[in-house]
Amino acid sequence: MKYLITGGAGYIGSTICSALEDAGHTPVVIDSLITGRREFTRGRIFYQADIADADAVKQIFQDHPDICATIHCAALIVVPESTTMPYEYYSDNVAKSLELFNTLKNLGYGKVVFSSSASIYDVVDGFMVTEAAPLKPNSPYARTKYMMEMILRDFCMAYGMQGIALRYFNPIGADPKMRSGIHVKNPTHVVGKLVDTALGRQDYFEITGTDWPTRDGSGIRDYIHVWDLARAHVNAVVDFDAVFQRAGNPEDRYLVINLGTGKGVTVFELVRAFETVWGKEINKRLAPPRPGDIAGSYANADRAREWLGWEAEESIEQGIATALQWGKERQTILNFD
């Protein structure tokens, strides 16, 4: 079976492509390569184009009318950057998704799995959130994800499309076969920064925020291995109709599912786990929270088990180990200086 992957040359999109291939399916990639990497498209059906380019998207479906569903990953994703570049985030994430959804609707390819984010949740007592938890997107990035969800739901209700929004928690690690991983020279994600500190590419690791109302004062997150995340997407698209049946085929034709391990890990705990895997301590400093930071949350993953037949399998240590392995190879694979 064929599936269209927007942003398929990025970190998560490329890993989803690998998981689809390992399951016997064919990914068709569209990516502008503004942030994606051509190296991640080798050997795959690839179109370098913008998702808002209706003619380019139409051409893909003319060339591949047997595409069964679309996985929409394309987006700008850096929270602190979004606070200083809101125009770019609303333009790239919201406006272009609107055009993509409209093109899919017009072409009659209405099955969409959307890469959403747990950053849209409000902080709740105990920090575990279900899909019914209150929402309070706290950064331009998070607000774009919320808006994209609402647009997709409205399209499903009005135009007969079907959407599954997968709310990611905090992806870590790399493809276990080292086909892809974090694809930027200077990672902004926590484990990427830990890796670069361990490998001497940055002087120290900043623990941003130590006065949160958590068990040790640092932020709490649900760190999910990117390979587990990719497997969840395979389940969602391959069993798309069955997922809706398990969910009771809701009238709005739209589902929301958390993707996380169900375990909350603080930043201090993550650093200790990293140092255990690395085998020695790293340089670290305490710092104030970044713009857009929150105390955090972790997933109630019951719905993913019930509807997707999925649960996380990889440990946080495995995520750290693959991130370290990728970190050592990334400079060469991606031709960084």
Between CA 61 and CA 45 the distance in angstroms is 12
pLDDT for res 335 = 84
pLDDT of residue 337: 59
Q: Work out whether strand 265-266 and strand 220-221 pair parallel, antiparallel, or are unpaired.
A: antiparallel
pLDDT for the residue numbered 293: 84
User: What is the DSSP pairing of strand 2-6 with strand 26-31?
Assistant: parallel
Angle subtended by helix axes 96-107 and 54-63, to nearest 10: 40
Alpha-carbon torsion 36, 150, 243, 296, what sign? Answer: positive
How many Å apart are CA 272 and CA 291, to the nearest integer?
25
What CA–CA distance (Å, rounded) separates 201 from 171? 21
Which residues 6+ apart lie within 8 Å of 233 measured at CB? 16, 19, 20, 71, 113, 166
Task: Please tell me whether residue 204 adopts helix, strand or coil conformation.
Answer: coil
Q: Are 71 and 7 in contact (CB under 8 A)?
A: no
173-209 residue pLDDT tens: 999 999 999 998 888 889 999 999 999 999 999 999 9
* DSSP assigned state of 296: B
Residues classed as catalytic: 141
| Alpha-carbon distances, residue 170 vs 134, 150, 180, 189, 224 (angstroms) | 19, 22, 17, 9, 6
* Residue that the structure tokens 């809706």 belong to: 244
Residue 281: CB partners within 8 Å, gap ≥ 6? 275
- Split the chain (337 residues) into runs of 10 and give each run's mean pLDDT: 98 99 99 96 98 99 99 95 97 99 99 98 96 97 98 99 98 97 90 96 95 97 98 99 99 98 98 98 95 90 99 98 95 81
Q: What is the pLDDT of residue 333?
A: 87
What's this model's pTM, rounded to 2 decimal places? Answer: 0.96
pLDDT at 332: 87
Alpha helices in the chain (DSSP H): 11-22, 54-63, 79-84, 86-89, 96-107, 140-159, 190-198, 226-238, 240-246, 267-278, 302-303, 316-333
Residue entry with tokens 């991130």: 323
Structurally, at CATH architecture level, domain 2-172+223-261 sits in 3-Layer(aba) Sandwich (3.40)
Domain spans of the chain?
2-172+223-261
